[in-house]
Amino acid sequence: MKKLLTAIVFSAMTLTGMGGGAAEAAPAPAAKPVVTIKAKTDTSAVKPKDDNTVIEAKKAAEASLAAKQVQPQVALPDTLYPRTKGDDYFKDAKLKNNITYAPLPNLTKEDIIYSGVVNVKKKDITAAAFVTGAQYEGDLADEQYSKFFVKGNLSQDAIRQLYTYNVALLRLEYGLNDVFLKTASAVKLEGEEIPYGILSVRIPKVEQIHKLKGYENIYTASINPVFVADNYLIPLHIRAFAAHVDGKYRNLLIIGPASETDIFDQAGLDIILSKPKDEKK
């Protein structure tokens, strides 16, 4: 089970562009059938002691191949994946009194994306959420993101990239379920008896990426996925922000229980617009 959950987390990060740069996709690409190729195990250089050794070696090779085939069916525009190192802006942010932040170890080897846990208090409620994101500046960041934060109409290239991202959001349910199914198949090849449908997701609500009303420098999008894990329902709210603040580019993803949607939406907005603690008024 531990192997399955680890593979699922890694696969989901890859799908959302957090695990590495994704190739830019054309708008609304047609889904291609996945071809499963049986691995050929070369045992000529190894003299096994018995038939069981050969069988185990073949299973290991097939499991390795199946794991490599756990790939998302929808690629996000590579403009969304940072090309330069970023700063953990929320670690040193001057947050509102009702928000506390605790950093977690980096999700990536490079200093590109940072993550942590926020606790948000509202009246008698304290809600916890996972957050991840970073802040970028410099020539590479300008080249990558400035096209989305211009006055007036966006360029055709910027519009095309936003459209591609929205198409990917709409197809996210299919892509995630495909990843989960392939991950379960890979784990089964390693000898663990688990049902193929041990994890699935429904995304009944998708809010496509758009400029936040009243904020010309902020884009936002959200989804409300309902995960089914071994017959347990896990409803979540995931809100994304991308902003141009004080000449720097910021992004933020906040993930928490669906019961506290309004709390997390406001907290995310407060974080994305936050100022550094040491900034003078």
Q: Give the pLDDT of residue 51.
A: 61
The answer to whether 181 and 97 are in contact (CB under 8 A) is: no
**Beta strand residue intervals within 73-163, DSSP E:** 99-104, 114-122, 125-136
Please state, as a whole number, how many other Cβ atoms lie within 10 Å of the Cβ of residue 83: 15
- CA end-to-end distance (rounded Å), the chain: 51
Strands (E), the chain: 99-104, 114-122, 125-136, 199-202, 206-211, 218-223, 226-229, 232-245, 248-257
Q: Tell me the per-residue pLDDT of 170-198, one tens digit each, with 9 for 90 and over.
A: 999 998 888 888 887 877 777 777 777 78
Q: Mean pLDDT over all residues of the chain? A: 75
Among 163, 72, 90, residue whose Cα is nearest residue 133: 90
Q: What is the pLDDT of residues 35-67, one digit of tens each?
A: 443 444 444 444 444 566 555 555 555 554 554
Quick: pLDDT tens for 155-171.
999 999 999 999 999 99
Residue 59 token pair: 């299973």
Residue 30's Cβ-side half-sphere holds a number of Cα atoms within 13 Å equal to 2
* pLDDT for the residue numbered 179: 84
pLDDT tens digit sequence for 110-157: 666 788 899 999 888 899 999 988 899 999 899 889 999 998 899 999
Could you state, in order of their start, the residue ranges of all structural domains in the chain? 2-34+69-272
CA distance 213 to 207: 13
